[in-house]
A and B are shown apart, each in its own frame.
Chain A
């Protein structure tokens, strides 16, 4: 291919692009959207985010069973420490441990033979 032919080819491609500018831009935009969506889905799946995504359909009961919304709390870290301070700390800790006790501790034999009503072990 001579230099003149190459120049011609580039010129024709340029003209072609100018003519279909909008179409080409749209195709590029759509392709880019597909690629970015694919990347997002891969991150969502492999990153373990899908495991805790309770906005998925079929997880209505899980959404309802969340005991309390997460609250951003600030603590005083500079004032003097008194017996009263420690007492309020212990009380708050008791509240949290009380909340923890309301949840399953995974010790219940939910997958036992008795629960599943099958016999797999002697």
Chain B
């Protein structure tokens, strides 16, 4: 009898603890999801305008970057050609140029995907479908971070190219007059 009473007390306590833990874990997540939907609905008009402005400023960055990458590509190709014509080994420069071209191509593709995701985001009626808007927003964020990764890779390649060119410049420096006379 006492055993069963103790068992029931423990069982109730156990259930209370389970409910308490569930409440502590689940409630903030549910409140957050509700908050996000509510905030998206409230800020819908502003969000539409913001995405449109962001699309324009990103297009400007994409065009400026694309043009600079094209110019750099022409410049490095001509530089490598001149080195080849002077029988200087261009292996490392050719390798970096290949990597550069590949990354620039991926940058262009990533931008196209990102722009498509922004268009998809802008077409969602965030007042009536805030959850769909949030899902598309996550996709756009992911696409944007892909472009950032490509840009960072390209910057790294250009930095390496510069370092190798500086090494070559040092090798081509004429020996100082005092050493030449010795």
Q: A residues within 8 Å of B by Cβ?
A: 48, 51-52, 54, 59, 61-62, 65-68, 70, 73, 75-83, 85-87, 89-90, 92-94, 96-97, 99-100, 102-107, 110-112, 115-120, 122
B161 touches A93 (CB 8 A): yes
**Bound Cα distance from A39 to B59, whole angstroms:** 26
**Bound Cα distance from A68 to B63, whole angstroms:** 11
**Bound Cα distance from A117 to B35, whole angstroms:** 11
- A54-B63, A106-B151, A107-B151 given; 16 more Cβ-contact pairs under 8 Å: A51-B59, A59-B56, A61-B56, A61-B60, A73-B75, A80-B86, A93-B165, A94-B162, A103-B60, A103-B61, A103-B64, A104-B61, A105-B151, A111-B141, A111-B144, A120-B36
* Complex: chain A residue closest to B112, CB-CB: A48
A66 touches B78 (CB 8 A): no
A62 touches B82 (CB 8 A): no
Residues in chain B near residue A122, CB distance under 8 A? 28-29, 32
Assuming the contacts A85-B82, A116-B50, asked whether A100 and B155 have C-beta atoms less than 8 A apart, the reply is yes
A118 touches B36 (CB 8 A): yes
B74 touches A117 (CB 8 A): no
Residues in chain B near residue A85, CB distance under 8 A? 82
A106 touches B172 (CB 8 A): no
Residues in chain A near residue B169, CB distance under 8 A? 83, 86-87, 90
A86 touches B85 (CB 8 A): no
Contact size range, B: 35 or more
A106 touches B40 (CB 8 A): no
* Complex: chain A residue closest to B140, CB-CB: A111
A119 touches B63 (CB 8 A): no
B94 in the interface (beta carbon within 8 A): no
Residues in chain A near residue B56, CB distance under 8 A? 59, 61-62
A106 touches B144 (CB 8 A): yes
A81 touches B39 (CB 8 A): no
B74 touches A73 (CB 8 A): yes
A59 touches B59 (CB 8 A): yes
Would you give the shortest CB distance from A43 to chain B, in whole angstroms?
Answer: 16
Q: Render B96-129 as a binary contact track against A, CB cut-off 8 A, 1 for contact.
A: 0000000000000000101100000000000000
**Minimum-distance CB pairs A-B, first 6:** A75-B78, A86-B169, A107-B148, A65-B60, A104-B61, A106-B147
Contact sample, A vs B, 29 pairs, CB 8 Å cutoff: A51-B59, A52-B62, A52-B63, A65-B57, A65-B64, A70-B67, A75-B82, A81-B88, A83-B173, A86-B172, A89-B79, A90-B162, A90-B166, A90-B169, A93-B158, A93-B165, A96-B72, A102-B64, A103-B61, A103-B65, A104-B61, A106-B145, A106-B148, A111-B54, A111-B137, A111-B144, A119-B32, A120-B137, A122-B32
